Structure 1
Amino acid sequence: MSRTVHVPYTIEQDEDGIWCAHAQLRPGVGAHGEGDDPETAIADLREALALLIEEFGPPQELELTVSVA
């Protein structure tokens, strides 16, 4: 079984040059990723979101694609 969860995020570079990506899974539950470049920050954010989804489950308001083999 696989799932696709689409989570909007923002990404910005801070004053020290570090890239920061932010997403909110549901009210009060958000995740952050950091990196030396945008791709690394987004990859870090994906890992953090995956852990949150494992712990809290996917939010109902997000689109899910489920494939069962």
Structure 2
Amino acid sequence: MSWTQHVPYVLEQDEDGVWCASAQLRPGVGAVGDGLTAEAAVEDLRQALIALIEEVGPSPELTVTVDVA
């Protein structure tokens, strides 16, 4: 099964020049990524979100259960 989940994120550069990306999958459940470039930080965040979704499942706000008789 393949699906797409859009997760808003924040991208910032710290005082040392390292890029940091963060996102919340749902309240209290989030992930972070970092890198030397903005693109590397977003990719690191993407990998962290994939691992998080595999561990805790997709956000309940994005899932629907349908019983078909």
TM-score by length of 1: 0.86
* SS of match in other structure, 2:49: helix
Relative to total residues, which structure has the larger helix share, 1 or 2? 2
The aligned counterpart of 2:16 is 16
Bigger radius of gyration: 2
The sequence identity of aligned pairs, in percent, is: 67
Secondary structure of the residue that 1:5 maps to in structure 2? coil
Shifted more, 53-62 versus 17-26: the winner is: 53-62
TM-score w.r.t. length of structure 2: 0.86
> Corresponding residue for 1:27?
27
RMSD value over aligned CA atoms?
1.2
Contact 1:6–1:62 (CA<8 Å) still a contact in 2?
no
Question: Larger % of strand: which?
Answer: 1
Gaps of 5+ in 2: 64-69
Task: Verify: 1:6 aligned to 2:6, yes or no.
Answer: yes
Counterparts of 1:26-45 in structure 2, within 5 Å, are: 26-45=26-45
Local SS of the residue matching 1:51: helix
* Matches of 2:5 and 2:60, distance apart in 1: 10
Unaligned residue ranges in structure 1 (runs of 5+)? 64-69
Higher relative contact order (CA 8 A, sep 6+): 1
